[in-house]
Structure 1
Amino acid sequence: MKSVATELVIDAPPERVWAALADFGSYGAWNPCLRRIDGEAGPGQSLRIAIRFGFLPPILFRARIDRFRRNELLGWRAVFLFGLLEGRHWFELHPLDAGKTRFVHAETFSGVLASLFIALFSGVIRTSYEAANFALKAIVEQK
């Protein structure tokens, strides 16, 4: 398995961060990486996702929520290229003192193409996730 993981501290409680993450309909207005998510934030829910990594063209795919704990954890699993690549994408919210949240945004890739995929794209994926993290921080902290 190959992973990309990012994190930052958001000056808001996990409940407020969760509200933005679970509002899939608003992603297009603020998220430069996850441009659109169609579906509901709930255990086992099917999603249709449009993602954009930097200069690469948008990627459209289906996923299923496989990690869900309100105000703590939201994640999904997607399979690409006939099962040659699998992605498990997730967000973790960890409460900190003074009403802050340590936000983790990560993905683990597995399958025959995982090593090649990470070798080619880990930099642009990390940069895209960091941009999404800072955008989330900005919208949550302005409320």
Structure 2
Amino acid sequence: MDRTIRTEIVIDAPPERVWAALTGFGSYGAWNPCIRRVDGNAGVNQILHITIRFGWLPSIRFMARIDRFRRNEILGWRAAFLFGLLEGRHWFEMHPLDAGSTRFVHAETFSGILTSPFLVLFEGVIRASYEAMNRSLKTIVE
């Protein structure tokens, strides 16, 4: 059964500025408390090497493939964990609002046999980490 964690925030900057920060992977370590490092290029089917940290949990490093990519609109990737028993489809959406603001959506859908036990244990810390990233993104682009 698939389960999604979805967060959002309004950022007082246009989608183009939000997009520039999201695709500037080299600077993630300076501002992003959740996705600490991304090595690779932003583009369709590109492979990324990602290091994440959810709150008090140790860092996790994994490979992902970009499967959603529309400039200034959506960036997303897919990764498998634990021999495919857990899969994550992570994405960011940028929706333009009046007066040059952006509704930023940050979400992930988990699937696989380990989804329920994984989220029972970690959903709260994952959601809090995504919200912390959203607030940091808002700070750097406003």
Normalised by the shorter chain, which TM-score bucket?
over 0.9
- For 1:136 and 1:43, locate their aligned partners in 2 and report how far apart those are by CA, in whole Å: 23
Per the TM alignment, residue 43 of structure 1 is displaced from its structure 2 partner at its CA by 0.5
Rounded Cα–Cα distance in structure 1 between residues aligned with 2:117 and 2:15: 35
RMSD over aligned Cα, in angstroms? 0.3
1:120 aligns with 121
1:136 corresponds to = 137
Taking structure 1 as the reference length, the TM-score comes to 0.98
1:39 alignment counterpart: 40
Match of 2:70 in 1: 69
Q: Runs of 4 or more off by more than 4 Å in structure 1?
A: none
How many residue pairs get aligned? The number is 141
**SS in structure 2 of the partner of residue 68 of structure 1:** strand
Q: Which runs of 5+ in 1 are unaligned?
A: none
Deviation at 1:80, TM superposition (A): 0.3
Q: Structure 2 CA distance, aligned partners of 1:89 and 1:104?
A: 11
Give the SS at the match of 1:56: coil
How do 1:63-102 residues align onto structure 2 when only pairs under 5 Å count? Answer: 63-102=64-103
Distance across 2 between alignment mates of 1:67 and 1:120: 28
1:24 aligns with 2:25: yes
Q: Percent identity?
A: 75
Tell me the TM-score normalised to structure 2 length.
Answer: 0.99
Cα distance in 2, alignment partners of residues 69 and 45 from structure 1: 13
Question: For residues 71 and 120 of structure 2, what CA distance do their matches in structure 1 show?
Answer: 33
Superposed displacement of residue 86, structure 1: 0.1
Structure 2: distance between partners of 1:94 and 1:113: 32
SS at match of 1:12: coil
User: What residue ranges of structure 2 are gaps of 5+ in the alignment?
Assistant: none
